[in-house]
Structure 1
């Protein structure tokens, strides 16, 4: 059975595993307690970030890389279009945009406002991260004017990637999404696999419930 280490961006992986119906074990990693106190996890990923996936002899890190691995190794799945399908190009773009263009720039703001000393929170890097996020977000908005999902008419793993980033921006970054984006997130997060993943990711679920009423997603 596969083992998924860590929640956070690991929620993307848990959601995909639930969508694909693949059995897995979720092993929590307490980043706030310090990964230096978790030698089992450091043996899996000495770089000390989450998520990580162990599948037999294979060990992978980086949430998007793990998603692509699961689709390639344990597919086929309708969550990834065939490379010859017209929807493959937008699928590939938004699968990666969800992390590189959205979640990572917003992380620059979040880590500054949560972890930095108070007099260093409003810094150039944090502000630039939000500017980058908003710029890339225009691609998502434009796509939603064309189709209900990132790859077109059907839900794919690209929607898992982008939805996580949008929810992260709202919950951790206090970002206010447009009505179109809120409707999109409501549509994707209504899926049963999303709900199952949230039930498995208990720390994430507790955090989300604690945020109820604080930010309107």
Structure 2
């Protein structure tokens, strides 16, 4: 049984597992309470961040690496086009852009806007991180103006990667997304795999519901 530790970016992993129809369990990790109080989790990831997985003798951290592992280990799957497929370059680019270019930068904006002292919420570093996010977002907007999904006509793991980052930016950093991105996210949220993943992740479901109402 695959165990996923933590929601947050772990939602990517849970969504992927639902799309692939693989058995798993979600093990909650309370970062606010402090991971030093969770020795089982620290044994999996002594760095103390989520997500992580345990799959038999395998332990891994980093959401995109975990996704690539699962698709390679339990595939083949249409969620990961093969290298000879014409859609592969776009798939590979946006799979990694979703974290390296989007989520990694907006993460620091979220921290500044929500947790920093009032006088530091628009500091230079937060503004720079937002600028990085916005520049990378132009690549997503351009691609989605051409095709319904980031690798082309078919939903792939690249969409799981990027959709997470867009939701984070919209709901936690106050980023206003355009019609192209909004329509794209609506398509993704309509998927049964997404909806099942949301039911598995109660904290994320409650947080998103509250954020989207505001």
TM-score over 0.5 for the pair: yes
CA distance in 1: counterparts of 2:168 and 2:30, whole angstroms: 18
What TM-score, normalized to structure 1?
0.97
CA distance in 1: counterparts of 2:126 and 2:35, whole angstroms: 25
Shift of 1:115: 2.3
Partner of 2:43: 43
Any residues of structure 2 matched to 1:198-217 within 5 Å, and which?
198-214=198-214
Cα RMSD (Å): 0.8
CA distance in 1: counterparts of 2:176 and 2:194, whole angstroms: 22
- 1:34-68 CA distance string (max 9 Å, x none): 11111111011000000001000000000000000
Partner of 1:135: 135
Unaligned runs of 5+ in 2: none
Partner of 2:177: 177
Shift of 1:106: 0.6
CA distance in 1: counterparts of 2:78 and 2:212, whole angstroms: 33
CA distance in 2: counterparts of 1:180 and 1:210, whole angstroms: 23
CA distance in 2: counterparts of 1:118 and 1:211, whole angstroms: 20
Q: Is residue 13 of structure 2 the alignment partner of residue 21 of structure 1?
A: no
What TM-score, normalized to structure 2?
0.98
Any residues of structure 2 matched to 1:1-217 within 5 Å, and which?
1-214=1-214
Q: Which moved more, 1:113-122 or 1:166-175?
A: 113-122
Shift of 1:192: 0.3
* Structure 1 residue runs of 4 or more that deviate by more than 6 Å after TM superposition: none
Shift of 1:33: 0.9
Maintained 8 Å contact 2:3/2:27: yes
CA distance in 1: counterparts of 2:208 and 2:110, whole angstroms: 16
How many equivalent pairs are there? 214
- 1:1-22 CA distance string (max 9 Å, x none): 0100000000000000000000
CA distance in 2: counterparts of 1:204 and 1:159, whole angstroms: 18
Shift of 1:119: 2.3
Shift of 1:212: 3.1
CA distance in 2: counterparts of 1:34 and 1:174, whole angstroms: 26
Maintained 8 Å contact 2:172/2:211: no
